[in-house]
Structure 1
Amino acid sequence: MAGIPRPPAYRIVIFQVLLTFAVALLALLHSPLAAKSAFLGGLTCAVPNAYFIWKAFKYSGARSAAQIVQSFYQGEAWKFVLTSLCFVVIFQRVEPLNVLALFAGFITVQLGHVASAKIANL
């Protein structure tokens, strides 16, 4: 009896990293500072999401149901913490910074979830 295959969630992370590079290249049309800031914003979304996906899909099978639920909750909590820490570090350590480009990169990659859901189902 074959089990339910794991979803190809890693494709979402790959898509988000590619989208991060695309946003940074687009921001490069404005300035190198905007490109760097947009890149950091994209990574601020993609890296915590990669951790969440790793954590959430660590277990599989009906016997692991409790561990799966716990992993989802822990993954989501740590994703929030990592996202917050990324922003704190960026705002404290990165100067100069184009804040508009930073948030544009973050929001673009965050909204990329809509497209990445389609990609993960390919």
Structure 2
Amino acid sequence: MDSRKTHRLPIHRIPVTPVLVAQLIVALLLAAGAYAWRGPVSGYSALCAGLIAWLPNVYFALKAFRFNGARAAQNIVRSFYAGEAGKLILTAVLFALTFKVVKPLDAPMLFGTFVLTLGVGWFAPLLMRTRLSRP
């Protein structure tokens, strides 16, 4: 029996979905706040930063949490490594594209929003429905 076909998780059952939704909400709120506080350049800079933080995390979640079950342990480990490598590459590419294409750009707002959006992950245990320590 091929574990790739029998143990795939559907997208809505990925355990980090609440974290991804919270990151998207924070990114959009920060972009709206930056737009209202400092104008359109800061607003779209913050939106770009939120997407730079969020999109690679979505890629990682889809890649890393595809499999479940003890028989798929090797596939799980492989997919975590591939997901993390892809996440880092995608983040670097998105930053490069943003600095190359988006003009004018509010760099402090870009980096600040990026860090705050990633900071949502620090509160991931509070956002997840099931605790990892439970059997």
Q: Structure 2 unaligned runs (5+)?
A: 1-8, 131-135
> Any runs of at least 4 consecutive aligned residues in structure 1 with deviations exceeding 4 A, and if so which?
none
Question: Which stretch shows the higher mean deviation, 80-89 or 111-120?
Answer: 111-120
Q: Tell me the TM-score normalized by structure 1.
A: 0.91
Shift of 1:7: 5.5
Residue in 2 that maps onto 1:83: 91
In structure 2, C-alpha distance between the alignment counterparts of 1:31 and 1:62, rounded to whole Å: 51
Residue in 1 that maps onto 2:6: none
- Higher Cα Rg, which structure: 2
In structure 1, C-alpha distance between the alignment counterparts of 2:125 and 2:117, rounded to whole Å: 13
- CA RMSD across the alignment: 1.5
Is the aligned partner of 1:57 residue 2:72? Answer: no
Shift of 1:8: 2.5
Query: How many residues are treated as equivalent by the alignment?
Result: 118
In structure 2, C-alpha distance between the alignment counterparts of 1:33 and 1:116, rounded to whole Å: 30
Residue in 1 that maps onto 2:30: 23
Q: Identical aligned pairs, as a percentage?
A: 34
Q: Tell me the TM-score normalized by structure 2.
A: 0.82
Residue in 1 that maps onto 2:3: none
The answer to which structure, 1 or 2, has the higher relative contact order (CA under 8 A, 6+ apart) is: 1
Q: Structure 1 unaligned runs (5+)?
A: none
